[in-house]
Chain A
Amino acid sequence: DQQVKQNSPSLSVQEGRISILNCDYTNSMFDYFLWYKKYPAEGPTFLISISSIKDKNEDGRFTVFLNKSAKHLSLHIVPSQPGDSAVYFCATPLGGSEKLVFGKGTKLTVNP
């Protein structure tokens, strides 16, 4: 059973608009979340993270929101740019800090 779920396999938005990528998790003990971005033929690269002691973390155009009661987090990209087109994964550490559990990813397409 998936512990981290990204229920939208794909998302398409217009350049300049907001992109919202969602992620749900099953275990309320999870206390740290990361977002990775992956371009084709490249490895994932770290984008932004959030600890459960916060409900929001911002880095430039990227903001991650955490709703612990709903076991839900979301990544907001404002404004979206064509270069943001990639697959986005949310992830959380499992069994300490030595491995990550990933969602299946959401493919974001930003149209010019």
Chain B
Amino acid sequence: KAGVTQTPRYLIKTRGQQVTLSCSPISGHRSVSWYQQTPGQGLQFLFEYFSETQRNKGNFPGRFSGRQFSNSRSEMNVSTLELGDSALYLCASSLDSSIYGYTFGSGTRLTVV
């Protein structure tokens, strides 16, 4: 079966711009979680969506937002980009909103210049 697909794989944006990243979960998975990976902070939880509802949110500013569509695909948006937002953004899907069944995508590498 197809894995978790994240698009685009790489992105370069300028400070102040906004960006939208996409995640298509494994077919049948209803939960999508987003993580940010940076060299200094490691992997940090952004938010989790289940059946189009945000269930959990991490400690990130309001510039980071997301949504989930009825087909479980998810997008995350970052507005007013800062240099510190440069990171690998990973999404993970699972069948039932449980981390025990996580499958991660390969991520979107965002560079803010």
Contact = CB atoms under 8 A, between A and B. Distances in A.
Interface in A65-109: 89, 91, 93-95, 97-105
Q: Looking at B56, B99, B104, B107, which has the most chain A CB atoms within 10 Å of its CB?
A: B99
B36 to A, nearest CB: 11
Given A95-B56, A99-B56, A104-B41, A46 B102 contact: yes
A99 B43 CA distance: 11
A59 interface: no
A98 B51 CA distance: 14
Interface residues of A, number: 22
B56 A98 contact: yes
Contacts of B92: 43
B55 interface: yes
Contacts of B98: 97-98
Interface residues of B, number: 26
The A interface, classified by DSSP as helix, strand, loop or mixed, is: loop
A42 B35 CA distance: 14
A7 interface: no
A89 B90 contact: no
B99 A97 contact: yes
A8 interface: no
Interface in B68-86: none
A41 interface: yes
A45 B43 CA distance: 13
Contacts of B44: 102
Interface of A: 34, 41-46, 49, 89, 91, 93-95, 97-105
